[in-house]
Structure 1
Amino acid sequence: MHELFKWSRKWWPGVIPLVICWGIAAWTSTATVEADLAARSNAALKDTILDKRRIAVAGRDVTFAAEAFSEEGRQSAVASVEAVPGVRLVNDGTRLVPEAKPFVWSAERDVVRVTLTGSAPLPSSKGKLLEAARNTLGGVEVADQMSLARGAPPRFDSAALLLLDQIGKLKDGKITLTDTKVNLSGMARELGGREAIAAALRNLPEGYSVAANDIKAPPYIFQAYKDPVAVTLTLTGNVPDNNAHAGLVAAAGRKFFSEKVVDNLKASVGAPSGFANAVVPALGALSRLSTGTLVVTDREVKLSGDAFYDAAANQIRAGLGRDFPQGWQYKADISVKPAASPVDATVCQQLFTELLSKARIRFESGKADISADSVGLLDRLTETALRCPNATIEIAGHTDSDGDESANQALSERRAEAVMDYLVKAGLPATRFQAVGYGATQPLAGNDSEEGKAQNRRIDFVVK
């Protein structure tokens, strides 16, 4: 017995390493099998669309959890794992992705980022939307708050991608897709953006429609500045189209007879209704100012500056907006420039001659009605008359030789009287003026050309 105990004491220490080696071998073999089954289970699912997929293996038993996008897809995924060679049992923890009713997706833009929220039908859809947002917005931060859900309407991806194209045209705002209905709100980044978005929405996939489009346009602004020092009229801002552009520049050229017109206008859609019909008379009012600024913002006209004399300031304040289309608002902030120093009769005549060498007082064809294009010139003539208070001035009317001689004589007289009336209404004494008509008896040029006839149709100021 003693010998056996001695022998066992020698044997036991050798068993311990053997047990350890056996344990390591068993554990290593099991771990290898489990890792292999996990890899093959994941490989079996590589073409299956799932969310939140998790594979855990214990021995040869697989615990499989995931969210599928259809019942058919869920069952197919479970079957794929069950078919993996070596798998003994699949603990099925799969379920369907939650369904969204209604199915809502939105993109919202603020000053720093675009945030995508709501539901996307598939991981690939979510990825496409994120990529499209980053490509469209070029450098703007894109925040992803989308979740995956079932219940998307057909052609969701196409509709959402088209709507993402529109978010780039917004300064700020939100576009929401609720099932197949689109709602938009916010401010367009540029003039024409609102119209461009509306045009793009006509390409929504079949079955989709716009429930509300509350996109607003940036203010539609037109500005004109009369600078007496540089002797310029500078036009900036927007006009509806090339035809309106040409028409407004031409109108400015007629009304501002001595200023160089600096044209910085650009054609932009989004002009308010009646734009040209408001801007043209507003330019006429600006032409009556020594220095001034005209700002047209949407349907609001603001005119500020200095008139040449008191009566002109009152007339401008009272008359601005009289010819505007219905619904337009206006404000006149008009002061009067300091009166210029008096001059003698000789200087007065030189000033009249200089002014009338730059432009003619125009009348309606065959009538004695003064053209609205001439009020700026008449105000300058009135200011000059105010500077020579002791001079008597003959207002001489002339015509070309077309038509009846007596009719031309009468027309020249009426036109001279119309100019005199303008000066008297400006506050000058009627006793200082004499309206005389000369008909066609004192031509400046031949009446055998249109250019010559135009020179002969005139009003002269003659200081006595």
Structure 2
Amino acid sequence: MRGLFRWSGKWWPGVVPLVLFWAVAAWNNTASVEADLGGKSAAAVKDIVLDKTRISVDGRDVTFGADAFSEDGRHGALIAVESVPGVRLVNDESRLVPEAKPFVWSAQREVAKITLAGNAPLPSVRAKLMDVARDEVKGIEISDQMNLARGAPVHFEDAAVLLIGQISKLKDGKVAISDSGVTLSGMARELGGREAIAAALKNLPQGFSVSANDVRAPPYVFQANKDPVAVTLTLSGYVPDENVHAAILGSASRKFFSEKVVDNLKTSVGAPSGFVNAVIPALGVLSRLSTGTLVVSDREVKISGDALYEAAAAQIKAGLPKDFPRDFQVQADISVKPASAPVDATVCQQLFNDLLSKAKVRFLTGRATIDSDSAGLLDHLIETALRCPNANIEIAGHTDSDGEDAANQALSERRAQAVLDYFVKAGLPADRFTATGYGSSQPIASNDTDDGRAQNRRIEFLVR
């Protein structure tokens, strides 16, 4: 017995390394098997649409977790994992993605940010909507706050893509889907944007309809700025069509006799009713100012600037209510330009000549009624008369040779008197002026041409 125990004591130390070697080998083999089964299981479900896939292996047992978008997809994924060679048991921790009732989605635009929120039916659709938003509105932040959910209506993806295209037309606002209903709100970026969105909505996929479209148009703005330093009249903003565009340019060229008209106008829909009937008289008011600005925003007219003399400011303010369409609101901030220094008779005559070389006092055809387009010129002539308070001035009327001499003589007298009356109404003393008609007796051009006859029909100022 003593010998046996001695032998056993010698054997035991040799067994320990063998056991350790066997344990390490077994562990390495198990780890290799688990890694192999994990990789094969992941490959088995890679073509199945899943979200948050989770696979872990313990020996030959696989725990499979994922969010599936249909019962068929979930069941198919389990079968695929169970069919992996070497898998003994599959512990199912998969679930269906929650169903959204109603299925809602939205895209909201702030000035420099677009947020996509609500639900998307698949990861691929979610990614596509983000890509579409980045392409449609470049250079601003796109925030993804979408969740994945089941229950999307048929053609949801097409409807959402179309609506993202409309968010680019908004300055701010929101487009949304609730099941098959579409709603829109906000402010269009440009005039015509609201109409463009409405036209695009006609292409919504079958089954979708517009529940509410509360997109507002931006104000319809027309602006005119008279700059006496640059001697320009700058027109900007919008007009409804080319006919109105031409009418406004023509009116501006007649009313503003010395300024260069700078045309920056664009055509766009959305003009309020009566637009041209408000803009043209507003330009007439601006033509009577030495410097000023006109802004027509929808049905609100704002005019500011300096009148050439005190009575002109009073006349302008008194005439505003009756000169504009009833549904337009008119605000006028009219001050008076400081009076210019007096001049002698010779300089006064030169000033009259300079003004009348740029434009003529116009009358209605065959009548002694002063055309409203001449209001700006007349105010400048009155300002000149105010600068030579001691001079006596003859207002001379002339006609062309068409018609009877007696009729032309009478017409020239009435026209000269109409101008004198305009001056007296402006506050100038009547005894400083005489109105004389010369008929067709003093032509300055040939009466054989239209242009010559037009030159002969004139009002002159003669400083005595």
Answer whether TM exceeds 0.5 for this pair.
yes
Structure 2 distance, partners of 1:321, 1:209, is 46
- Give the structure 2 partner of residue 78 of structure 1: 78
Structure 2 distance, partners of 1:213, 1:321, is 36
- Give the structure 1 partner of residue 135 of structure 2: 135
2:255 is matched by which residue type in structure 1?
Answer: K
2:182 is matched by which residue type in structure 1?
Answer: V
How much has 1:4 moved relative to structure 2? 1.1
2:413 is matched by which residue type in structure 1?
Answer: E
Structure 2 distance, partners of 1:449, 1:422, is 31
- Give the structure 2 partner of residue 92 of structure 1: 92
- Give the structure 2 partner of residue 205 of structure 1: 205
- Give the structure 2 partner of residue 68 of structure 1: 68
Is the deviation greater in 70-79 or in 212-221?
212-221
Is the deviation greater in 380-389 or in 419-428?
380-389
1:64 is matched by which residue type in structure 2?
Answer: F
Gaps of 5+ in 2: none
1:120 is matched by which residue type in structure 2?
Answer: A
Note the 1:181-196 alignment, pairs <5 A: 181-196=181-196
Structure 2 distance, partners of 1:139, 1:290, is 44
- Give the structure 1 partner of residue 297 of structure 2: 297
How much has 1:318 moved relative to structure 2? 1.9
Question: Are residues 1:345 and 2:318 paired?
Answer: no
Structure 2 distance, partners of 1:452, 1:147, is 80
How much has 1:374 moved relative to structure 2? 0.3
1:84 is matched by which residue type in structure 2?
Answer: V
How much has 1:321 moved relative to structure 2? 5.0
Contact preservation (8 Å) 1:220, 1:270: yes
Structure 2 CA distance for partners of 1:326 and 1:209, relative to 1, 3 Å: farther
- Give the structure 1 partner of residue 114 of structure 2: 114
Structure 2 CA distance for partners of 1:177 and 1:411, relative to 1, 3 Å: same
Aligned-residue sequence identity (percent) comes to 70
How much has 1:134 moved relative to structure 2? 2.0
Which digits, 9 at most, give the CA deviation of each residue in 1:109-144, with x for residues without a partner?
224422211100011101101112222222322221
Q: How many residues align?
A: 464
How much has 1:268 moved relative to structure 2? 4.4
Structure 1 distance, partners of 2:51, 2:162, is 26
How much has 1:229 moved relative to structure 2? 3.1
Is the deviation greater in 315-324 or in 9-18?
315-324
How much has 1:147 moved relative to structure 2? 0.7
Structure 1 distance, partners of 2:408, 2:212, is 64
Gaps of 5+ in 1: none
How much has 1:270 moved relative to structure 2? 4.2
Contact preservation (8 Å) 1:240, 1:268: yes
Q: SS of the counterpart of 2:369?
A: coil
How much has 1:242 moved relative to structure 2? 4.0
Structure 1 distance, partners of 2:155, 2:299, is 41
1:9 is matched by which residue type in structure 2?
Answer: G
Normalised to the residue count of structure 2, the TM-score between the two structures is 0.93
How much has 1:164 moved relative to structure 2? 1.5
Structure 1 distance, partners of 2:230, 2:357, is 20
How much has 1:325 moved relative to structure 2? 3.1
Contact preservation (8 Å) 1:399, 1:440: yes
Structure 2 distance, partners of 1:37, 1:230, is 83
Structure 1 distance, partners of 2:4, 2:148, is 73
- Give the structure 2 partner of residue 35 of structure 1: 35
Is the deviation greater in 36-45 or in 263-272?
263-272
Structure 2 distance, partners of 1:345, 1:216, is 60
Contact preservation (8 Å) 1:169, 1:197: yes
Q: SS of the counterpart of 1:182?
A: strand
1:78 is matched by which residue type in structure 2?
Answer: L
How much has 1:417 moved relative to structure 2? 2.3
Question: Are residues 1:362 and 2:352 paired?
Answer: no
How much has 1:21 moved relative to structure 2? 1.9
Question: Are residues 1:459 and 2:459 paired?
Answer: yes
Structure 2 distance, partners of 1:212, 1:403, is 67
Is the deviation greater in 403-412 or in 299-308?
403-412
Structure 2 distance, partners of 1:17, 1:284, is 111
Return structure 1 stretches of 4+ with deviation > 6 angstroms.
Answer: none
- Give the structure 2 partner of residue 447 of structure 1: 447
How much has 1:454 moved relative to structure 2? 0.6
Structure 2 distance, partners of 1:455, 1:180, is 71
Contact preservation (8 Å) 1:195, 1:270: no
Structure 1 distance, partners of 2:325, 2:43, is 73
Note the 1:57-456 alignment, pairs <5 A: 57-456=57-456
How much has 1:271 moved relative to structure 2? 3.8
Which digits, 9 at most, give the CA deviation of each residue in 1:62-117, with x for residues without a partner?
22222221222222222222222222322222222111111111112224422211
Structure 2 distance, partners of 1:452, 1:321, is 40
Contact preservation (8 Å) 1:132, 1:161: yes
Q: SS of the counterpart of 1:407?
A: helix
Q: SS of the counterpart of 2:80?
A: helix
Structure 2 distance, partners of 1:415, 1:181, is 69
Contact preservation (8 Å) 1:289, 1:307: yes
* RMSD (Å) for aligned C-alpha atoms: 2.2
Structure 1 distance, partners of 2:321, 2:94, is 73
Structure 1 distance, partners of 2:251, 2:339, is 29
